[in-house]
Structure 1
Amino acid sequence: MVMNATHVYMTKRFATSLANATMFTTYALYYIAALGLNPFELLLVGMVLELSVLLFEGVTGVVADTYSRRLSVIIGMFLLGTAFVLQGILPAIDGVLPFVSAFMWVLVAQVFFGVGDTFVSGADTAWIADEVGEEKLGSIFMRAKRYSLLANMLGIGLSVWLSTLAPNLPYLVGGLIYLGLGVFLILFMQETGFTPRERERGASHWREMAQTWLSGAHVIRRQPILLLILLVTLFTGAASEGYDRLREAHLISEIGFPQLAGISMAMWFGIIAALSSLLGLFAVSFAEKRLDVNNGRVVIVGMFVLTALKIAALISFAMAPDFGWALATLLLIGAIESLINPLYDTWLNLNIESSVRATVLSMMSQSNAFGQTAGGPAVGWIGNRLSIRASLLTAALLLLPILAVFGRVLRRR
């Protein structure tokens, strides 16, 4: 059965966002309250995830460019589903494997998570770019973000409800959604715009993949704009790991939640996530109507302004004196990220050749993973030695070099 490529991409984005919101809205309660992980262990979980991405990203991106973007995405869906189901069944096997701690089990699941993510990363955007054409990418990425935010709102409610039944259920359900999406893509995802690289007679699979990787590296080396994008992803990764892993811990340990009758901690996380998605939905809808997101200069100016706002918001969140202040800055950061992610995807894809798009995108993800792997433990160490506030301030400072990069790009244009 044939389905329009844009519809398949939107379905994929909707389903993955639904699964992610279901799992990650209340994941802090599962990791911190149920499994008892401390801030340093939380950062180690992130480090293992990003190290897996760092090690496998280049290989899987080359697979997508050498053989098939469709195949790469489908493999990734099944690996991701396996990773999340493994975490979801942890309470059921507790005591069955007494020599394996909950922390070690989570780390093993992160390896599946990281490898699965590398198969999808780069391959999905390279696939849709080939199917619809580069001139439509900005609009498609914005529309996909809108679908993702709608799915987030559904997943948030599902996450809160499931976590009240059992803290592991969000992971179990999210993993099953990924596995179901893998089956859906087998049935409906077509690949008509991609032409595999011509293989040399007698060349081995490894040699073909090596040549594809070298072609991607050559593209980055000869284009200064891609080197600048690589620098942006490096510092973005270093900054994001601290904020992504410690914002919930900051709310739980240093800010606290209002004592309102009938509102549990899980419900508060759901309320925050729902408000953030709703605000992001309004921001994306506004940008779609008022901005030419297919215009390169508009994209660069937008990312410069949004990055400056994000730095200010991160500092404000770190120094928040009470819950109301922290909530306002969290919502602002969420709206900023809702806008900056599709703009970044557009900027990146407009500067990459189709033949090595998945490989170059994977290299960019590798740079992000390297930033998170190197920056995450450092930010976590600062949190253990000083405070979580100090870690969040460090994350904000790590974004400053990105402003200089965007300023340089604007001056060149």
Structure 2
Amino acid sequence: MADELGAPAHRPLWVFLQSGFVWQLCWSSYWTLFFLRVVVDVGLDPLQLLMLGTAKEVTILLAEIPTGVLADLRSRRLSVILSFLICGLAIVGAGLAGSFVALVLTQVLWAFGSTFRSGAEVAWFTDEVGSLEVVDAVLPRRARFEAVGSIVGLTATALLAAATSLSTALVVVGVVLLGWAVVLKLRMPETGFQRHAASANSRFRQLLREGFDAASRPGLRVLLVVTVATGFASEAVDRLSVARLDQIGLQDTIDPALLIGGASVMQSLGVIVLLFIVGRRLAGPRLVSAMVALNALTAIGVGVLAQGGLLAIALIGMVTQGTARSIARTVTVAWTNHFTDRSNRATVHSFVGQAQSLGEISGGIGLGIVAQQIGISTALTISAVIYLLASGWSRRGHTRWPKPVLVHS
């Protein structure tokens, strides 16, 4: 790998790793602070919490493929920079918004911005280094950088929020993301991307066809089903975890920002440890086994969060599921990358992102009604069962992995 990452690829490698660090620093801080703010400061009910997620995912569903095709058609570098810029503005808005409608608008803006980065960043890096094997090796390394970014961000913003306010901490996180967009404008190269001579309209249609063709491959179909299912289940976990902790005494302990921040730091440490142990094995067909195990572990964690009657037990469940899901995201990216080629990488990644959004929209509505009418614990228990079913379905990938791998660099 050292030879493959010589001088031409060295700069893209470090831009890729550092961007992962900064994105995760801001992303994990944003969501932790945001959910604390809407539960503790604004006081949204469970259905409103899930409607925030539904608004976000509807936006992603509508924007994912057009922005993915745009990245393949025009510039993946430009797409990544736009993503950091738009998402930074959304986080600043989330820190300033005070009404439910305003908070929904910040979620829509965040979702729109995130679709520019979805797939484009990995597609950019794959083209710059020109080797799928190198990308497979680097993705776990980047995930470790992301985990460290989470620890740094959560620690700093938890202390900042405790000293000032949740709103102030959110605004600072947004400014950091905006600053990194400027850094990328100055430092991010793009030498491996090839523009096509065909007209924009004809190339757009061609990329859509290629995306649908890739999605029809048996191995990717398995992943798409798993992604829809886990997306459905994850929406309740993402939106209701803090509300569940609040039910069993979150605000009766130390400052909630410090407690949730500490739990999230433990989650990131778990990611680092697990990736140190298994990171080099996350390649090729072994990605399937990893997905099976990670979804099963997520099911256990969500079940403990749902049924744990003590705050400490529920926190263990939250950390467990969060650790497993963080690594599963890396596995999903690597799995998807095995079913792309140079011309359509961002588009195919966008198809997978759209599958997740479809699941999350359905989960936001369905599990939101369950949480509102029956209870948060019941909604989370249903999510745990769905993760377990997704683990079983993931096994089908063993018999549907391409031989040889269908990738052209």
Deviation of the 1:78 alpha carbon: 1.2
Q: 2:281 aligns with which of 288, 292, 311?
A: 292
What does residue 45 of structure 1 align with? 52
Q: 1:224 aligns with which of 197, 218, 230?
A: 218
Q: Does the Cα contact within 8 Å between 1:280 and 1:339 map onto a contact in 2? A: yes
What does residue 240 of structure 2 align with? 246
Map 1:237-276; keep pairs closer than 5 Å: 237-253=231-247, 255-257=248-250, 263-276=254-267
Map 1:185-196; keep pairs closer than 5 Å: 185-196=184-195
Q: What SS does the corresponding residue of 2:124 show, helix, strand or coil?
A: helix
What does residue 380 of structure 1 align with? 368
Cα separation, 1, equivalents of 2:251 and 2:395: 41
Aligned residue identity for 1:228: V
Q: Does the Cα contact within 8 Å between 2:282 and 2:290 map onto a contact in 1? A: no
Are residues 1:7 and 2:2 paired?
no
Provide Cα deviations, 1:91-117, integer angstroms capped at 9, x if missing partner.
6xxxxxxxxxx1111111112111101
Provide Cα deviations, 1:24-45, integer angstroms capped at 9, x if missing partner.
2232221112122111111111
Map 1:150-229; keep pairs closer than 5 Å: 150-164=148-162, 165-199=164-198, 203=199, 205-221=200-216, 223-229=217-223
What does residue 335 of structure 2 align with? 347
Cα separation, 1, equivalents of 2:161 and 2:303: 31
Q: Does the Cα contact within 8 Å between 1:239 and 1:399 map onto a contact in 2? A: yes
Q: 1:131 aligns with which of 108, 128, 132?
A: 128
Q: Does the Cα contact within 8 Å between 1:74 and 1:182 map onto a contact in 2? A: yes
**TM-score between both structures, scaled by the size of structure 1:** 0.90
Q: Does the Cα contact within 8 Å between 1:15 and 1:151 map onto a contact in 2? A: yes
Q: 1:77 aligns with which of 59, 81, 84?
A: 84
Deviation of the 1:259 alpha carbon: 5.2
**TM-score between both structures, scaled by the size of structure 2:** 0.91
Map 1:24-173; keep pairs closer than 5 Å: 24-90=31-97, 102-132=99-129, 133-164=131-162, 165-173=164-172
> Gaps (5+ residues) in structure 1?
92-101
What does residue 22 of structure 1 align with? 29
What does residue 97 of structure 1 align with? none
What does residue 98 of structure 1 align with? none
Map 1:278-289; keep pairs closer than 5 Å: 278-288=269-279
Cα separation, 1, equivalents of 2:271 and 2:195: 38
Aligned residue identity for 2:89: T
> Gaps (5+ residues) in structure 2?
1-7, 402-409
Larger deviation, residues 381-390 vs 311-320:
311-320
Cα separation, 1, equivalents of 2:194 and 2:26: 31
Q: Structure 2 vs 1, CA of residues 185 and 396 (structure 1 numbering), >3 Å: closer, same or farther?
A: same
Q: Does the Cα contact within 8 Å between 2:73 and 2:203 map onto a contact in 1? A: yes
Map 1:299-338; keep pairs closer than 5 Å: 299-338=287-326
* Large movers: runs of 4+ above 4 Å: none
Q: What SS does the corresponding residue of 1:355 show, helix, strand or coil?
A: coil
Provide Cα deviations, 1:193-247, integer angstroms capped at 9, x if missing partner.
1212331xxx3x34432332222112322x1212222111111111111101101
Deviation of the 1:157 alpha carbon: 1.7
Provide Cα deviations, 1:122-174, integer angstroms capped at 9, x if missing partner.
10011111112211122211111111111111111222122220221122111
Cα separation, 2, equivalents of 1:370 and 1:86: 25
Aligned residue identity for 2:352: M
Deviation of the 1:412 alpha carbon: 4.6
Deviation of the 1:326 alpha carbon: 1.2
Provide Cα deviations, 1:273-310, integer angstroms capped at 9, x if missing partner.
1111122221111223xx4223x222211111221222
Cα separation, 1, equivalents of 2:356 and 2:319: 24
Deviation of the 1:10 alpha carbon: 0.9
Q: Does the Cα contact within 8 Å between 1:31 and 1:37 map onto a contact in 2? A: yes
Larger deviation, residues 49-58 vs 325-334:
325-334
Cα separation, 2, equivalents of 1:404 and 1:292: 21
What does residue 386 of structure 2 align with? 398
Aligned residue identity for 1:342: T
Cα separation, 2, equivalents of 1:399 and 1:301: 15
Cα separation, 1, equivalents of 2:353 and 2:170: 24
What does residue 95 of structure 1 align with? none
